[in-house]
Each structure stands twice: as structure tokens, then as C-alpha cells.
Structure 1
Amino acid sequence: MLFITTASLGQIVKDKSNAMLLDFSNENQISTSLPVIEWIYPRVEYTNSQENRIMIEASVSSSIPLKTVTVVISKGENGKTIGTKAAELDDKFNLKIDLSIFVIDGENWIEIIAENEEGGIVSDHRSVRVGMDAISDAVMIDRKDYALLVATNKYDNWNDLVNPIYDAESIAEELRTVYGFEVEILKDAEQNEVMTKLREYAQRKYKPQDQLFIFFAGHGIYDEVFGEGFLVAKNSIKNDVSKNTYISHNRIRNNINNIPCEHIFLAMDVCFGGTFDPVLASNRATVYEDIDDQAYLVKKLSKKTRKYLTSGGKEYVSDGIRGSHSPFAKSMLEALKTKGGPDRILILDEIKLYMERLQTTPRFGGFAEDEKGSDFVFVAK
């Protein structure tokens, strides 16, 4: 057993990440450099477990020597303290926490509190629901799914296309009416408009189980000198050697990863889309386990998701015939229209089955902070 009961730790100001408490009567505290807490597992703020014994991993770093680092487990956010554990400070500047702890059924509030020798205090927490009863209630009623679709038909300096906006509108309608997504379409946008819209989504507040689907359709290019792919905006200049008027895959990858939504799925129906990830991912999502639908959703929504699906590798892909969808969009729509089958849960592996029929094989994988076993789920109403 982990727990050693100790005296009260006092009042700590709590927030979603690295909350801090400073005593302004102490002049040294006001200018102190605060410790930094980084969770390794559980990675996301709210998670679930069928087992009462779980592992927690985190690191604490500080430029000022650490005075104390304590793990506190409580019954819920404001509930009774179950137990505490003071860490041994072998290294007062870099501490690794790696513990196996016993938690009770229901909600457990696991908090790490770090104080340096100048009195600066930070805390960070994770909430873990335990037991099948807790899991059955864990899919939040107020969770939301969002979709941003960026489609370009008309170009200032490139040949116009016929299907991107039609494809985006058809996919948007399916997402809105069948899966309950809140949908926005950005049409024929210039480079600055696209980046401004992504910034807008990065400034939004998301709940832990919210999901964001981002879709790009239009021209794409690959620059052999830079060794990178680019999205072509409405105002991209065709002979722009520096590619300053384009949107690089690297920029898209970083900006989307930094959107504070735990579950993001990016689909790109553009030429050379497969060059989005510098190392094309080969890992497959975890197959559907034989568990209750609700428990399955909870499991998937407890892992940080950064997945991408592109309409080909390092090659040109077809825009399709006017009014009949691009091959990529057609396959995406066919998958969405299945509603995920009897369970009404469509997962990425099921979408991939439809994509594998295409002449140019799409690329699928994870990027940036994607967690192993994560998934993006489309839940039909």
C-alpha cells in the first residue's frame, strides 16, 4: 500500500495546470522561479480505470532547489483525503515520480504539490474514475464534437478545381445531421485567413472529451529542395521560390498539435498529402475490443489523439469529375454513411477500410503528441 497519513498540507490554489500559491509577504517568493510539473501518465486530465491499482508517472523540475514534493489522493476534487506520499528528494532540481497506487471506486483526485526553497508552490492534478459504475457514467453528456473544413475551388494563380467545396459541404452535412458535429466551412480562403481561423480554434476552451475534426481540400505541392509538402491557399503565388505564400505541412502540424483539444483528427484531400508526416506512420490503431460500447468510448476518449489521414503519398491525386466528389471524399462519405454499423460508433480503422480501395493509397498515422491506442470516434445520433 502506498499511503502514509500526514498533517494537513494547507490551502493550495487549484487550477487545470500547474496552479500556484505565493505568499506575497515574503519578498523572495514574488520573484522566485516556480517548479514545473509534467504528467507522463495519466497524460490527460480526466481518465478512467477498471482496476483499483494504477500507475502514476510525472516529472518535477526546478531551477531553485526543491523543498518538498507531495502526492495527495482525495475522494473527488473537494473530498476527504485518502492518503499522501512525500517524495524522496535525491535530486532537488529534477525529480521523477513513478508510483503504483491503490485508488477507491468512484472519482479519485490525484494531486502533485511541489514547493521550492524560496516558498514558491505549484500543484497539478489528474482525476481518475474507477469501477464499471463510474465508467458507465463517464461519457460526458455535455461533450461536443467540432469540425473545421477548409476547401478551395478558386485560385488567383493556380488552376481552379471543381470539387473541394462540394466535397466539404457534403461531408459537413453528414457530420452535422448524423453525428451531431458543430461544423464550420472556410471557402476559398487566403493564407492569412486559414492561419487566423486555426488560431481562433486554438483560443477556444475544450472539455476533456471534446473532439475536433479538421479537413483540407484543394491543391497541394511538394518542394524537393525544402523536402516538405505545402498546402496551396487561394492567394499562393505559383513561382514563389521561398514558399512564403504557401502553408507548410510543418506549420500545420505544429499549429494543430498546439490546439488545446485532447482529440484531433486531420484529413487532407490534397496532392502530396502523404508528406504531412516526415516519417510516414505505420502503426495501426488498436482494434475494437470486446467491451461495452460506453466503456469503449471512455477508453478511447481518455487518450490524447493526434491522427492524420491523407489522400495519397508523395504524388498527385485526382480532383474527380465535377459534381461527383473526389475519390478520397467519396470514400470518406461512404464510411460516414455506414454510421459505424450496429453499435453506431465509427472508428478510424473502419474508415481506413474504405480508403484502401483507392487507386492512390492514402496515408494514415499519428503525429506530435499522439498516444498509443488512441482513436477518433464518430458517434451516430
Structure 2
Amino acid sequence: MKTKTLISLTLLLVAYCQLAAQVVVDRTNKVALDFTKPIKATVLPEINWVLPRLEYTNSEANKVDIKANVSSKVPLKKVTLSVLTSLDEEPMASVDVPLISPTSAEFEKSMYLGDGQNYVRITAENVDGGIVSDDRSVIVGMDALKDAIAIDRKDYAVLFATDKYDNWSDLTNPIYDAKAIGKELEERYGFEVRIVENASQDLVFNTLREYAQKSYKPQDQLFVFFAGHGQYDETFGEGFVVARNSIANDPGKNSYISHSRLRNIIDNVKCQHIMLVMDVCFGGTFDPVLASSRSIYEEMDNSEFIVKKLSLRTRKYLTSGSKEYVSDGTPGSHSPFAVRMLEALKTSGGGDRLLTITEVNVYMQKLQTTPRFGSFGADDQGSEFMFIAR
């Protein structure tokens, strides 16, 4: 009897270890086990969503693109796709997903979903009885999206500020500037603010990785700010952010933070709406493609405007200068760029309590240096980053 119990426990532990390791990009798949049947150690199928990209998303249109694939080391028994209006109810509709091989399945289709809350679920079962499922929440229709505003959306801000350097001359105002801007974002606009002071190259990348691993909802926003030294390398034709521990004589620039790497990392963060602001020298070399025009908005009420803009993917940047050095300011005063940024933030967006990054850019035009404003990565035309005053 003890031998049988030991064997059963061993099998359960093996099964548990296999299940615990079953993680997808955005979150762990849900696992279903039937304890009325003998437990068999197995490797669960993996579900990979392509569209929608995020766990929570929204759409003004009822037609939504769904794309996903399933892979398994153990032959698959069945893969289904279901649509639900509530996670506690039975599916409204379910279809079997054709297998393209004994161990893989793929689904790509435009589906019409009803107005309001919808859940799209993929469930995969292998021949050992191992079942895994994963959902995507999709809110459809303008009226339903209006109701969703401000219920669960969140704004994040991470500000990197460096004024003490191991190998470069120290600066006066970056941390002072970041704290002042962070205070406005937190108190006036409700951002969750984090200030990272005098960060090494590793700390910058590790912090960005933390934000890349967060689970964002469709209307969440991420504001990323850099203040400190910047450099441009003529040989590489590349701009760099100087970290606290960047080496002064580093021909390969391996101790620096290249704009191209920064651009790729931030673009791949799974937040739909991201704004990068750089108060560093040569910041304008961040993106070779500069915005040639500004958005023009038709008249609409606040909630409709917010929904419309937050249904588009946003990747914007604003820098304090172009391919040039920029002023750090005098001790006890903010940098010229930070002064303009704070002036814009302190308006609370005016009468409508809504400040867009396009409006912030207007304040920057008074600077002696040449500020740059544009888009990068997978930015949707007409998108906007917004500061919504409390």
C-alpha cells in the first residue's frame, strides 16, 4: 500500500512540475485536470496568441481579427475556439479548430462579436487528457468602450535621471527635474510613478524589463523619461544615452544605451500606449523619421475622444534637442526642457482636463534648442498619448 501511495505521489509531483512550467508570453494558461480519471504525467499543449496581442483589448468595430496557434509535444486530441460573454457562463458558440498536424493547430479568422464584453477562449486537449485553455477579453462597440473608461485603466511612469557619473562630468538638475515632473504626473494626473536615480546600464535594462513583463489593459499608458548625458557617434551614425557607469573611452559603445536598442525594447513592451521623453544631448537622433504633421481632431466629447485615441496603438517620442548639446540649467533651477514640460503639465489640460502630448510639444517650440516630436515602431496613425487630469 505504501508503495502504491508513493508511486501515486511521484506521478502527481511529475504532473505538477510539468504543469507549473507551462507559461505563455502574457500569462500562464489555465489548466484543467479531471481527478475522476487516473492521473497521467504529460506535457501540456502551448497556446500562442498572435491577435489580439494583449490579454485585454478593445475595438470600435464588431469585426475582430483572431489568430492563434497551438503546439504540443504529445499528440492533440481536440482544439476548440469559444466565444463567451461572461467567464462564469457557458460559451455562446464553439468551433473545432482543424489540426494541421497531430501536434499542432492554427486558427486565423475575422469574427463578428456582439457589442459589449466578449471573451474569446482557446482550449486544447492532448491524448493523455491534459487540457489547457486561455482567454482574450475583447470589449466591442463605442458605447461599451465609453463605459469602460477609467474603471480599470492605469497610467505608469518610469523616470531615469542621472546626475552622478563614474567616468563623465556630473550634472546638476536631472534628478531634480525628474522628481518635479514625477510629482506632477502623480498628484495631478494619477500616474503610478517610479524614479530611478543614477542607474547603471544593467539597472536601466532590468527596469525596462520589469515594465515589459507587466500585464497591461487596453487603455493603460506608459510614460518613459530619460534625463542626463547623451552622445552621438559619427562613425556608427547612432545616438546613445550615457549610463552612470558608461566608460568615457569606449569605441565600441558597449557600455552605453544605444537609441536603436532602446527603441526596440520600448516598442516591444506589451502596453498599447507609450510615450518616451528624452532630456539628453543629441536626443533628436532617437528616430531618423520625424513626424511631418500633427493630428487634427474633430469635435467630440471627452469620453469619446479618449476612447478613440486609446483604441489606437501609440509609440510617440519627444526630445529636448536635435543633433546637438542641450543645457542642463543652473543649480537650483530646472533644465530649460523641464521648465517647459512642467509648464504644460501644470495647466491640467485646460478646461477639458485633458492634455495631449501634441499640446505639450507646443510649449517646447520656445526652446533655443530644436525639440523633436514624432513616432517610432508600431505607431498607429492618429494615435495620441494623453495626460488625464483628476
Does residue 386 of structure 2 align to residue 377 of structure 1? yes
Q: Is the partner of 2:262 in helix, strand or coil?
A: helix
Match of 1:30 among 32, 42, 45: 42
Equivalent in the alignment of 2:198: 188
Match of 1:337 among 342, 346, 349: 346
Equivalent in the alignment of 2:325: 316
Kindly tell me the number of residue pairs found equivalent between the two proteins.
363
| TM-aligned CA deviation for residue 230 of structure 1 | 1.5
Aligned 8 A contact 1:17 1:125 in 2: no
Aligned 8 A contact 2:70 2:124 in 1: no
Q: Residues 245 and 376 (structure 1 numbering): CA distance in 2 closer, same or farther, change over 3 Å?
A: same
| TM-aligned CA deviation for residue 314 of structure 1 | 2.7
Amino acid at match of 1:367: F
**Partners of 2:314 and 2:53 in 1: how far apart?**
11
Q: Residues 247 and 50 (structure 1 numbering): CA distance in 2 closer, same or farther, change over 3 Å?
A: closer
Equivalent in the alignment of 1:328: 337
| TM-aligned CA deviation for residue 368 of structure 1 | 3.8
**Partners of 1:287 and 1:124 in 2: how far apart?**
39
Equivalent in the alignment of 2:148: 138
**Partners of 2:244 and 2:59 in 1: how far apart?**
47
Q: Residues 62 and 366 (structure 1 numbering): CA distance in 2 closer, same or farther, change over 3 Å?
A: farther
**Partners of 1:164 and 1:220 in 2: how far apart?**
12
| TM-aligned CA deviation for residue 161 of structure 1 | 2.4
Q: Residues 187 and 17 (structure 1 numbering): CA distance in 2 closer, same or farther, change over 3 Å?
A: closer
Does residue 135 of structure 2 align to residue 97 of structure 1? no
Does residue 363 of structure 2 align to residue 354 of structure 1? yes
Match of 1:211 among 209, 218, 221: 221
**Partners of 1:200 and 1:102 in 2: how far apart?**
33
| TM-aligned CA deviation for residue 217 of structure 1 | 0.8
Counterpart mapping for 1:262-273 below 5 A: 262-273=272-283
Aligned 8 A contact 1:47 1:129 in 2: yes
Q: Residues 84 and 142 (structure 1 numbering): CA distance in 2 closer, same or farther, change over 3 Å?
A: closer
Does residue 257 of structure 2 align to residue 247 of structure 1? yes
Amino acid at match of 1:270: V
Q: Which moved more, 1:165-174 or 1:114-123?
A: 114-123
| TM-aligned CA deviation for residue 219 of structure 1 | 0.8
Aligned 8 A contact 2:309 2:383 in 1: yes
Equivalent in the alignment of 1:9: none
**Partners of 1:367 and 1:333 in 2: how far apart?**
24
| TM-aligned CA deviation for residue 76 of structure 1 | 2.1
Amino acid at match of 1:242: G
Q: Is the partner of 2:92 in helix, strand or coil?
A: strand
Aligned 8 A contact 1:222 1:272 in 2: yes
Amino acid at match of 1:99: S
Q: Residues 374 and 30 (structure 1 numbering): CA distance in 2 closer, same or farther, change over 3 Å?
A: farther
Counterpart mapping for 1:47-86 below 5 A: 47-51=57-61, 53-60=62-69, 62=71, 69-86=79-96
Aligned 8 A contact 1:152 1:189 in 2: yes
Identity of paired residues, percent?
53
- What RMSD, in angstroms, separates the aligned Cα atoms of the two structures? 3.5
**Partners of 2:191 and 2:337 in 1: how far apart?**
20
Unaligned ranges ≥5, structure 2:
1-21
Q: Is the partner of 2:255 in helix, strand or coil?
A: coil
Aligned 8 A contact 1:44 1:302 in 2: no
| TM-aligned CA deviation for residue 218 of structure 1 | 1.0
**Partners of 2:23 and 2:212 in 1: how far apart?**
23
| TM-aligned CA deviation for residue 47 of structure 1 | 3.3
Equivalent in the alignment of 1:226: 236
**Partners of 2:80 and 2:28 in 1: how far apart?**
14
TM-score relative to the length of structure 2: 0.77
| TM-aligned CA deviation for residue 134 of structure 1 | 2.6
Q: Is the partner of 1:318 in helix, strand or coil?
A: coil
